[in-house]
Amino acid sequence: MKLSIAILSSILLACSVTVANPVLTSSTTSTATTTSSAYPSATETSGPDLTKLFDPYSVYMSDCYPIDFDGITLIESLAKGVRRLERLLQDTNEKKTEIKDQVEVVSKLKEKFDHLKSDPSSSKSEIIKLKSTLVGSIGIFKSLKRQMKELIKEYSHTNQQNAKTRTMLGDYFTKHHPIGSTNSDGTINAKSYPGFKKCFDHFYYRLPQ
């Protein structure tokens, strides 16, 4: 029982995560040039001219005006990342509840098993049957722990990707829409940039929850 509680506590602590808002950050001047090369314009890439296939100024994408194709692509990526992070957080919380419930199941079975073993009147078949049930419950608990570990890993990866996208967006707006203000922590105030919030919402609210 003590071991189970210790394991649960460590898992619950590891899962105390929150979803970051789509705040944009700008890299330093020395890294901005490098970062900007990570999203070349459609006309610089080989292959078909994507600007002809996807017109950011069309009626469909009017929510993103005056942001160009490169900026729209980054905003869409961020919206998907934020939505995914929210789903992962929900899955993590649900898994945390499952683990907590399973710990209680294992604890009660262990207590019952110990009592049965110490009772001289207990039959061998009863003990074997209960032991099998206990082993199965412990197996479920271990499986839930593995699932939780994968969720945490995926959450961490998605969070890192979102951070990179926010930085790239910050550099993009600094380059293409330099008139704006920064927050006290150095992050870019997205409200100063025309179209960002509306464009982000355009993609965010069209994604499945």
For residues 49 and 46, what is the distance between their CA atoms, to the nearest angstrom?
Answer: 8
44-100 pLDDT, tens per residue? 445 555 554 555 456 556 788 888 888 889 999 999 999 999 999 999 999 999 999
Cβ neighbours for 96, distance < 8 A, ≥ 6 positions apart: 11, 12, 15, 148
The pTM score is 0.67
Q: Calculate the CA 156 to chain-centre distance.
A: 7
Angle, vertex CA 130, rays to CA 125 and CA 135, nearest 5: 125
Q: Which helix (H) or strand (E) holds 124?
A: helix 124-176
The overall average pLDDT reported for the chain is 77
Specify the 3-state DSSP secondary structure of 188: strand
pLDDT at 140: 97
Residue 190 has pLDDT above 70, yes or no: no
Specify the 3-state DSSP secondary structure of 27: coil
132-185 pLDDT, tens per residue? 999 999 999 999 999 999 999 999 999 999 999 998 988 888 787 766 545 556
Confidence class for position 197, pLDDT limits 50, 70, 90: confident
94-138 pLDDT, tens per residue? 999 999 999 999 999 999 999 999 999 889 999 999 999 999 999
